[in-house]
Structure 1
Amino acid sequence: MTRTDPFSGIAAALAAPGRPTSDYDLNPGVLLPEGRRLKPAAVLVAFQAGRAGLEIVLTKRASHLKNHPGQIAFPGGKVDATDADPVAAALREAEEEIGLTCANVSVMGTTEAHETVTGFSVTPVLGRILEPFQPVPEAGEVEEVFSVPLAHLADPQNYRVEQRRWRGEWRRYYTVPYGPYYIWGATARILRALADRMDA
């Protein structure tokens, strides 16, 4: 009997057409300034084999942080001058934030960049975790490391559109709740873009 590669769906999604996304996707009335300069950043969308199939590793940011306290996020951050490219940045940040070593990740590819309201152009880097690992949350920055079944995140019906006031205006955004975790904003938008690719 031929065993199906569980990562074949990810490879197919990477081969599917996509487009850049942004925090403004659901807010078409926002006028963005011409010539704006975005800071490069990258996140690691890390897949691992779980009991119920593939899972995506996420983090919960520490509640005392100045930026995005308590929010659910991918491991990742700014592209430093010492990083060769966004892929190198995502792998470095994952090792620093959750103890996932570069040697334990097979990079499958990247998807189109996501523009955030905070002025970053974030490149999602999709990677396969090769061997089981014990997460080591970075003290002071990461409160928790957990995983969510890909089957949940790949189903467009699990996404909702909500809104809240931000800088005096209503802003709409995607959410994809899972158990006690409220996944929203840029993280949910990047996941929704992946779900759309897998559903194509």
Structure 2
Amino acid sequence: MDIVIANEVAPSVRRVLFMAAQIEGRQPKYLIRVKVARIQFHQKGDMIFDDFTLARVLHIVSIVGWIGGVWFVTFVVMPSIARTASPADRLHAFHRIEQGFSVQAKFWVILAGVSGFWMTWRADMWSRFAETSYWWMHAMLGLWLVFAAMLFIAEPLVLHRRMAESPSPERDFNLMVWVHRVLSVIALVTVLGAMAGAHGLM
């Protein structure tokens, strides 16, 4: 059974369709095309794959690598440095570890941006940015812009030099800890909102 509806589907409609599919014991699969969204109900074992699905898979993988890495640095690496290094040496210790993670972070952020842009363009979802009900899309874009600016502008131009030659390493390390914590919480709220919104819960 196929149901073709307008691209901008009301959250309440998505919830009803999703619940109806579950009642019938079927698994709903969302295929979004340019200006048209097709919700296809299919039995287990059917395989439907397209460029939008590939982009969505890559997007989720990139978010896991990106945000997971941020959380690991924030709640594992930084506390470990705080416990084992003296206050004056913490910033330098973090700088050494951060250099190894920086390349991975840049890769995941680029992949997240490219896949996110592709899905938005492919499904013609630009109008969602004009609606407050899709606040999680604004949050995703805002969070991505912050990290992209940090990794590709602030880090090479300012942060690396500051961490290597900081006149107040203890204060700078504490500031970085709090910045990472704030961004981690914002990232968590954004991911929760995005997953809920993408599955019709908002």
Regarding TM over 0.5, the answer is: no
TM-score (normalizing by structure 1): 0.22
**Which structure is higher in strand share?**
1
Q: Which has the larger radius of gyration?
A: 2
**Which structure is higher in helix share?**
2
TM-score (normalizing by structure 2): 0.22
